[in-house]
Amino acid sequence: MPFLGGQVGFCRLRASLPTAATLQREHLDKCAEHTIATNPTDAGERPGEVEFGWTGGEHIEDNQFSLDKNAWLDGQLAHLGVRVDTNKVPAEVARAIRAREAGSLKDAMPGMRESKKLVREAVDRAIDDERATGKHKRSKMVPLLWDLPRKVVLCATGAQAFTERLANHWRVSFGAGLSQMSSGALAADYYASKGLDRRFEDMRPSRFVDPPAGRSPGEDAIDPDRPEVPWASVEPADFLGNEFLLWVWRRCETGGGRFEVTDESGAQTEVAIAMDRLLEMECAWGFTGKQTLTSTEEGIAPVRMPEAARALQVGKWPRRAGLILAEHDRQYTLSFQADRWLVSGVTLPRPTEEEEATMTEAGDRLEARLAMIRRLDELLLAMFREFLAMRASDAWPGERERISAWIRERAGAEKQRRAVAPAEPVEVHLPEDAHDASLAS
């Protein structure tokens, strides 16, 4: 269970449910009404290919809900699970059923022209019968952490097919909406809260370098002189997450990676960032493709590699990076895909000795763990908001030029390094007979 043990991963969802600041019994009653066990499949209804239902969060058959078990941090957080039953007939089995039913109809009506409609209806009934046996069913549980006062749900998977079905199940259960919050959606919320809607609507991807040589803009390109950012198609403003990661990268390399941020309570705190282990990049111009870099055996971070400098120069932007994030003496390691706002592989800080001494009950350690997950989400969001404030200000043109200059400097330094580096000796392997002939001569 990612939130209660092991490495953590989540996407961020907006819960539009008007609710109390803490978990109430009525919330859990609604969950109990919409488990898979309570779905009305006994009254002649066949199970669908995918079924959703709430669980108490301990395992797939946990249908018990209580404030003692599901409420944490004085009821501000709710830990729940969603059970997903996939009941899909494998393609090979469906193919065999289709052949069998077509043959049966042909035998039953000799000499008659085959009716595609009759075959299709017979196949659908047979596949429904096969699905109803339950032998193809696969079940899993996806944990959720619902932050009620912040109206946020952290979901242990960011798969779009899952979150779309979860949004529908949330609507059926609570009569309210649930939507995934990529960086574009987060930016829209922030700018709306600051009265900067118009400025946000006018934002376009920044041009940090010239277009790659040989690139020609597509017919649908809005501005041929700006990157197209092809992965930001569902939420066009998701490019702000990539610019944020690029901004962090430059700050880490040139300014020590320390950021003064304001959290949601209004308190100031310092966050230190290092980029390590992983770097996934993709061409923002939709031309030079993708690349993935990982740390070398010698411990060289991907952002320090010459391949990263060359990728920046030809228009690739960071999409996912390994981060080390520290606030005071608490250090988190994680992988972060900025455009879709997906957090994965999180290793949480260990409690201090003083905190360990106060953990007298079994639930204390879990509560501290959930509080740290919540804090990580707050810190990432606080950093993004610092970037968004600057992105919408008069300071952005200067910062954009600094990023461009940094990219040029990195590319120039790499070109100079290659020019002065001694040529590596080339080892030539000759066939044995050629080697013997050269000795004879």
- The domain segmentation of the chain, as residue ranges, is 1-39+47-85+143-180, 89-135, 185-420
C-alpha–C-alpha distance, residues 221 and 238, integer Å:
17
Rg of the chain over Cα atoms, rounded to whole angstroms, equals 28
More confident of the two residues 200 and 428: 200
Q: Is pLDDT of 208 > 90?
A: yes
pLDDT value of residue 104: 79
Q: Is pLDDT of 128 > 90?
A: no
Tell me the pLDDT tens digit for each residue of 403-427. 999 999 988 777 777 766 554 544 4
* Beta-sheet pairing, 178-180 with 152-155: unpaired
Confidence of residue 291 (pLDDT cuts 50, 70, 90): very high
**Are the CB atoms for 203 and 240 separated by under 8 Å?**
yes
DSSP structure class, residue 39 = S
- What are the φ/ψ torsions at residue 271 (nearest 5 degrees)? -120, 130
C-alpha–C-alpha distance, residues 216 and 385, integer Å:
34
Environment class of residue 305 by beta-carbon count within 10 Å: exposed (0-12), middle (13-18) or buried (19+)? middle
Question: How much is the pTM?
Answer: 0.85
Average pLDDT over residues 106-125: 71
Lowest mean pLDDT of 268-272, 323-327, 395-399, 435-439, name the range. 435-439
Q: Return the ∠ at Cα 68 (arms to 65 and 74), rounded to 5°.
A: 120
| Closest among 160, 178, 186 to 80, alpha carbons compared | 178
pLDDT value of residue 39: 55
